[in-house]
């Protein structure tokens, strides 16, 4: 592996670690968990994206973003994810 490739790989690893730290920070607060829950809801993680027409393609694109976010959450802060779901249920019960 050349020095250039090593530098590129190191930069990618650093960027990934920054992103992982960011999601852990966001999920460490109630406000962050509430925001992420809304983002996951908006990206159809908790419902079907099928509409029966061409709008399904658009919603599947949104869903793909949510899947990537969900993967990062599951890899970095699974306990906070579970807490986020409990908090969302509690908010729903209060409505």
E runs forming strands in 1-95: none
- What is the distance between the alpha carbons of residues 68 and 87, in angstroms, rounded to a whole number? 22
Mean pLDDT of 9-37: 96
What pTM was estimated for this model as a whole? 0.86
What was the pLDDT predicted at 16?
Answer: 94
Query: How confident is the model over 25-69, as pLDDT tens digits?
Result: 999 999 999 999 999 999 999 888 899 999 999 999 999 999 999
Lookup: tokens for 5: 């490739």
Query: Is the pLDDT assigned to residue 1 strictly greater than 90?
Result: no
The residue written with tokens 């983002």 in the block is: 39
């Amino acid at each position: 592996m050349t020095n250039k490739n090593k530098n590129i790989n190191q930069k990618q690893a650093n960027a990934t670690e920054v992103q992982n730290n960011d999601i852990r920070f966001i999920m460490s607060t109630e406000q962050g968990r509430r925001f992420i829950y809304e983002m996951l809801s908006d990206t159809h993680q908790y419902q079907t994206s099928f509409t029966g027409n061409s709008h399904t393609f658009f919603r599947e694109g949104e869903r793909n973003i949510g899947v990537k976010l969900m993967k990062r959450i599951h890899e970095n802060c699974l306990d906070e994810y579970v807490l986020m779901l409990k908090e969302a249920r509690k908010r729903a019960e209060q409505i």
